[in-house]
Amino acid sequence: MRNLLIFITKYNAFFLFVIFEIIALTIFVKNNNFQKATFISSSNKIVGNIYLKVDQLTDYLKLGITNDSLAQENARLRNQLKSSFYVDSSVVKTVSDTVYKQQYTYISARVINNSFNRRNNYLTINRGSNAGIAKGMGVISSSGVVGIVINTGPDLSTVQSLLHENTRISAMLADSNNVGSLIWDNNLDPTKAMLINYMKQVKIKRGTPVVTSGYSLFPTGTMLGRISNLDVKDSNNGTGIEVNLSVNFSNLQYVYVVKNKLALEQQSLEAQEKQ
């Protein structure tokens, strides 16, 4: 502290000069419209450049994560390409004819807004009806199920996240095909969900993969998570067991909207049965 006081005393004339210069410039700029406008314009430009550099640095730091995610997705799609098709087999007398027809197509999109720590969470993506997206389509990422499209505009869509009290995904245990429902149940933990309405008689192991069943909007076998706790817990929708979700909802950047080509036909037929 003594050295600091000595330094200030020694250069007090310089510090007074700087202070008076700042005061003079402030008064000059404040009372002259031209100089004031020039100063504001220059300040905005400098601040804008700073924001641009920060944004570029942030994107650069996330580049590795994004590239890894895209690489994993490419590998997953290559390995599971047949999951987008269904077998259309017909038998006429003794002749069997099997044809593979495509049931699912994927539309890539970037997440431009996302919530994951509220009671009901949503995403906004940069694709809409112009890209072929419609209400009711499923949304996935390279890690698994993300949610369901609820509204579309020409260029944007909103997605009801898996982390929402009204989201219910038909799920099954990968090792036994034991079918149930996956819900979030408002636990406010974006990493956990619950598997309910499954067959209690089937023995379940910790770490068992939980995937989509054939009764959902998504291709059968799309990852949802893994059983993380075998203790049965109560929820607003009944009892269930804890699932550690495969998707990191705090770091979503790119997603894929799943277009089921048979969805409209299925909905139409099922609607007739309810009449």
Q: What is the pLDDT of residues 132-146, one digit of tens each?
A: 999 999 999 989 999
For residues 58 and 180, what is the distance between their CA atoms, to the nearest angstrom?
Answer: 40
User: Which architecture characterizes domain 102-260 according to CATH?
Assistant: Beta Barrel (2.40)
Rounded mean pLDDT of 159-186?
A: 91
Q: What is the pLDDT of residues 238-270, one digit of tens each?
A: 788 999 999 999 999 888 898 887 766 666 665
pTM equals 0.66
Residue 27 token pair: 């008064």
Percent of the chain exceeding pLDDT 70 equals: 63
- Is the pLDDT at 169 greater than 50, yes or no? yes
Strand partners, 101: 86
Q: What is the pLDDT of residues 15-40, one digit of tens each?
A: 777 777 777 767 766 666 655 556 55
Instruction: Compute the residue count for the chain.
Output: 275
Who has greater pLDDT, 1 or 129? Answer: 129
Which residues contact residue 79 at a Cβ distance below 8 angstroms, ignoring those fewer than 6 apart? none
Residue-wise DSSP of 115-181: --SSSS-EEEES--GGGT--TT-EEE-SSSEEEEEEEE-SS-EEEEESSSTT-EEEEEETTT--EEE
Which residues contact residue 226 at a Cβ distance below 8 angstroms, ignoring those fewer than 6 apart? 207, 208, 209, 210, 243, 244, 246
For residues 194 and 232, what is the distance between their CA atoms, to the nearest angstrom?
Answer: 10
Q: What is the pLDDT of residue 270?
A: 52
Confidence of residue 176 (pLDDT cuts 50, 70, 90): confident
DSSP three-state, residue 212: strand
Who has greater pLDDT, 99 or 267? Answer: 267
Rounded mean pLDDT of 141-158?
A: 94
